[in-house]
Chains A and B, each alone.
Chain A
Amino acid sequence: MSAALKLENLSKAFPVGKRLFGAPKGIVHAVQPVDLVVEEGETLGIVGESGCGKSTLARMLVGLLPASTGSIEIGGKPLNNADPAEFGKRIQYVFQDPISSLNPRKTIRQVMEAPLKRLHGMGKADRDRRIAEIFDSVNLRQEFLERYPHEFSGGQAQRIGIARALAAEAKILILDEPVSALDVSVQAQVLNLLADLKAKLGLTYLFISHDLAVVEAVSDRVAVLYFGSVVEVGRAEDIFRAPKHPYTRLLANSAPVVGRPLTAPEGRETELPDPLNPPPGCPFKPRCPRATDECAAARPGLLPDEGHRVACIHPLGAGD
């Protein structure tokens, strides 16, 4: 297997309180330097709560946001801060809100034609044939092509969003919360479609979600994000069977599950740290039951270098 996507030291910092002249008032590190490799044909799940930087990371990966540091390699070729059109042929994005990712004043055919025309320069006949092919593969009827976005339900609109991403013929898809706006009975339709497409077309997925159960159902490997950095990464079954980072366990225990009594897994009423004034060392320390003074000394790095990696100096063991 070879790496489909490789990130080295990728980070993003936003200036806050920009002024016309002079330096900004503060800097928010939305994504701390990240190293990640996604193998060809793999699904990497990215889990995290709001504000953890998962959407910022995703937008950097498709070139919608220039990175502050680091590099992105797709299929062995570096692609740094190029324009989105260059990214578009190799990596595509499926948006969270299916309806608002479609221009309300364009028909679905116009939406579908844009990537074929602009990225691949196809003629009219080729385009029609290709659109018919793609619509077939996502189980949408041809007659939908002449309609406008508001005429579709969320599930249908999300399938149109996937169809548009497929039209670019990119081998990597970033799926940014693709089912969180959908009802459960429909969410499975979309997830199963994604699984079928991946098998048929040999795609590589980056699946971003806040829902651990959904991520578990679709991912080969999982990376857990907290406050802008990857705190744990490894094979999905390892992460869910035996989480090593206290935050991962907190996440797993917080999800409401049928048959588990209601308890607040965190006794204290805690919140994310202030991004403008981050605490020293491990950002999870204020919420962590295992925290010691050492944790405040420095931000822990991911260890070991291979396999199930965790950024914690007091990782959970098998007995915890």
Chain B
Amino acid sequence: MKKFFQLLIRNRLAAAGGVALSIVVLLALLTPILPLQEPNVTNTANRFVKPFSEGHLLGTDHLGRDMLSRLLWGTRLSLAVGFAAAIFAAFFGAAIGIVAGYFGGRTDNIIMRGVDMLMAFPYILLALAIVAALGPGLVNALIAVAAVNVPFFARNIRGVTVGIAHKEFVDAARLAGLSNTRIILTEILPNVIPVIVIAMSTTIGWMILETAGLSFLGLGSQPPQADLGSMLGEARSALITNPHTSVVPGVMILIIVMGINLLGDGVRDALDPRLRSGALTRPMAATVVERESQPPAAHAEGVLTMTDLETQFHVGERVYKAVNKVSLNVAPGECLGVIGESGSGKSVTALSVMGLVASPPGVIVGGSVRYKDAELIGMKYGRLRELRGDRVAYIFQDPLATLHPLYKVGDQLVEAIQVHHKVGRAEAWKRAVDLLKQVRIPNAESRAESYPHEMSGGMRQRVGIAMSLANDPDVIIADEPTTALDVTVQAQILSLLNDLRRERGLAIIFITHDFGVVAQLCDRVAVMYAGRIVEEGPTQAVLDAPAHPYTKRLIACVPELGEGRRRLEAIPGLPPAVDRLDPGCAFAPRCLKKEAACVTREIELARVGGRAVRCLYPETDLKEAAE
């Protein structure tokens, strides 16, 4: 709640709207005790007194009634009717929407078709029809305005409910013996309320306008009772001769509706979880670089070298050290595996290379990444963009999320080619089909005409690989490309990647959490824990004789086929949060060999030959192992 108000206040327009609206509401609440003249007492001798006159601050209307008094009483009435209509509409709309969305099937179909029919009529026409049927009067106007807004709420809430009703916690509640009514009230409703509040905050303004509209037409409040709409209606005939009679209620409507809409937008922005997490604040085209020191010299040869790369996430006061002085290199034709558990920083390392970490909150604060001789960190965006996908390409985990659902896969490949090469469409299409053949998609010609949803997960990932190959890159960074796939499909994709790198001399950086995959595909492996490399070396050597206790115990955790029924090894405890790292070894709290020295100072990555380990008491002495 505190967070909500902080976000709301930070939005200046919303705060201004809130202040304006609060003043109006306060005045409306205080109207009965303010020293005002009677709003409905006529005094025709005194008609059309100009504003700022003695005794009548805002003048009088065509019957000599005090405008200020009528304005405040009218505002009070208009606000009350608007809020009441919004609450009715939200209540009934939400009830209809939740029932339709929760029960689904035929219930949903029938209810929503009814709602569609209501929506097919123009708003005001429908409201007029309802008032015509019920007769004029403020209560009937309220009913009409509420009724025309019910479909808006119903559709909105139904959509949200459908999403929630299929969540696993609803199934769990059913199995816990909750009845449908209880599930709706205790599981669905609390998750829908923010949406209802958002919808209300953005529609109250309309409803006040619509009520005013009906009153303006004489169908709402009846004389002599004042509301903003009827005041405007009565002033219409004197619009030219005495404009103040219409300007005064007009300005009030403007203030109220503007205030509500600005505040409503602010409320929506502050409540919407997607906006709150910053996901919709548009990330910059490349990760922000705030490097204070000079880029360090490369520590090794390779087509791609990272040296002491540091990427952090700055969220409020907190600094998450996602990538903490990581150095890696990969040579042409080589496959480097980067292995780690969730939160170890392996994906952020991969994304940092081409400046693809979302900023905000990502910031690269140090280190260097070189592609051949070019420094990528801090490179001009135009040049970086030329390299992206052309020389260094990515394959991501979920091909359904990376392919555009509305374009044919062939067209998407053509686009990838044409961004970097000036070739005609026919030529590019031919190349696209060739690429699909290279990733062994059967019937490539006809498959190029398919949309992503028409393909299976394995086929889509082949398209993802084809796209990464489109410009014959030197380096491919594959971020868990087979994690979402079935094992039989995974085997096909891995052998495809292996063939491709041998045929083309591709350098591959393969991010994964699976030792089996690393063992089969990668020449070298780097193990990451809490944003740091803790061990690095040739795959076979690391697997045979792991040096870091974490590597050793992680390998022991992996269940392997053919060992029968047994208890599995576990590593008790959890990885540390990377915003509060203690000095020394991050694995120490879970380590069986921990000594006092482990947590007093930084531990260097000790390199011996091709291997490296960041541990004071390694499991394997690398010097001995090297001999």
Contacts and interface: CB of A to CB of B under 8 A. Distances in A.
Interface of A: 20, 49-50, 59, 62-64, 84-85, 87-89, 92-93, 95-97, 100-106, 111, 114-115, 118-119, 153-155, 161, 164, 167-168, 183-189, 191-192, 195, 210-214, 216-220, 236-237, 240, 250-266, 269, 271-272
A111 B168 CA distance: 13
B557 A185 contact: yes
A64 B567 CA distance: 32
Given A188-B569, A258-B555, A264-B496, 20 more contacts: A92-B175, A95-B168, A103-B187, A105-B190, A115-B176, A153-B574, A185-B553, A185-B571, A189-B572, A212-B561, A213-B558, A217-B564, A237-B565, A240-B562, A250-B488, A256-B517, A261-B520, A262-B494, A262-B520, A271-B459
B385 interface: no
A256 B519 contact: yes
Contacts of B179: 85
Nearest to B550: A185
Question: Shortest 10 CB-CB distances between A and B: which pairs?
Answer: A256-B516, A118-B177, A188-B570, A188-B568, A49-B486, A101-B168, A213-B559, A115-B176, A264-B495, A185-B571
B567 A192 contact: yes
A130 B335 CA distance: 53
B494 A256 contact: yes
B564 A183 contact: no
B513 A183 contact: yes
Contacts of B342: 154, 183
B487 interface: yes
Given A50-B486, A256-B517, A263-B495, A216 B565 contact: yes
A181 B574 CA distance: 15
5 contacts: A119-B176, A183-B342, A211-B559, A262-B498, A271-B456
A34 to B, nearest CB: 21
Interface string B535-561: 000000001000000000111011111
Greatest chain B CB density within 10 A among A50, A87, A186 is at A186
A111 B516 CA distance: 38
A168 to B, nearest CB: 7
B440 to A, nearest CB: 5
Nearest to A269: B440
B507 to A, nearest CB: 18
Contacts of B172: 93, 95, 101-102, 111, 161, 164
B266 interface: no
Contacts of B565: 216-220, 236-237
Given A84-B175, A185-B570, A264-B495, A254 B490 contact: yes
B355 to A, nearest CB: 28
B515 A114 contact: no
Greatest chain B CB density within 10 A among A96, A153, A216 is at A216
Contacts of B571: 185-186, 188
Contacts of A259: 519
Contact of A255 (B176, B561, B563): B561
Contacts of A264: 491-492, 494-496
Name the interface size band of chain B.
Answer: 35 or more
Nearest to A256: B516
Interface string B157-173: 00000000001110111
A192 B570 contact: yes
Contacts, number: 210
B520 A260 contact: yes
A269 B174 CA distance: 42
A192 B458 CA distance: 33
B521 interface: yes
Nearest to B110: A20
B457 interface: yes
Interface in B427-451: 440-442
B565 to A, nearest CB: 6
B282 interface: no
Contacts of A257: 516, 519-520, 560-561
B207 to A, nearest CB: 28
B567 A184 contact: no
A89 B442 CA distance: 50
B514 interface: yes
Given A213-B559, A216-B561, A240-B562, A191 B568 contact: yes
A216 B190 contact: no
B168 A100 contact: yes
Contacts of A271: 456, 458-459
B566 interface: yes
Contacts of A154: 342
Given A219-B565, A263-B495, A256 B490 contact: yes
A83 B147 CA distance: 36
Nearest to B514: A256
A265 B175 contact: no
Contact of A251 (B178, B457, B487): B487
A189 B176 contact: no
Greatest chain A CB density within 10 A among B168, B341, B566 is at B168
B191 interface: yes
Contacts of A189: 570, 572
Interface in B458-497: 458-459, 486-488, 490-492, 494-496
B109 interface: yes
A50 B457 CA distance: 10
B440 A262 contact: no
A155 B570 CA distance: 12
Nearest to A96: B168
Contact of A114 (B173, B496, B570): B173
Contacts of A252: 561
A184 B513 contact: yes
B175 A272 contact: no
Contacts of A100: 167-169
Given A114-B177, A272-B456, A64 B487 contact: no
A38 B451 CA distance: 43
Contacts of A251: 487-488
Contacts of B167: 100-101
A50 B559 CA distance: 21
Contact of B487 (A59, A168, A254): A254
A299 B488 CA distance: 22
Contact of A186 (B486, B555, B561, B570): B570
A29 to B, nearest CB: 19
Given A93-B171, A95-B172, A254-B488, A262 B495 contact: yes
A49 B176 contact: no
A85 B488 CA distance: 38
A49 B488 contact: yes
B439 to A, nearest CB: 9
Contacts of B516: 255-258
Contacts of A217: 559, 563-566, 568
A266 B568 contact: no
Contacts of A96: 168
Greatest chain B CB density within 10 A among A100, A185, A255 is at A185
A62 B175 contact: yes
B158 to A, nearest CB: 17
A111 B176 CA distance: 9
Contacts of A106: 186-187, 190
B139 to A, nearest CB: 36
A76 to B, nearest CB: 21
A216 B517 CA distance: 19
Nearest to A18: B105
A195 B565 CA distance: 11
A251 B491 CA distance: 10
Greatest chain A CB density within 10 A among B109, B169, B176, B558 is at B176
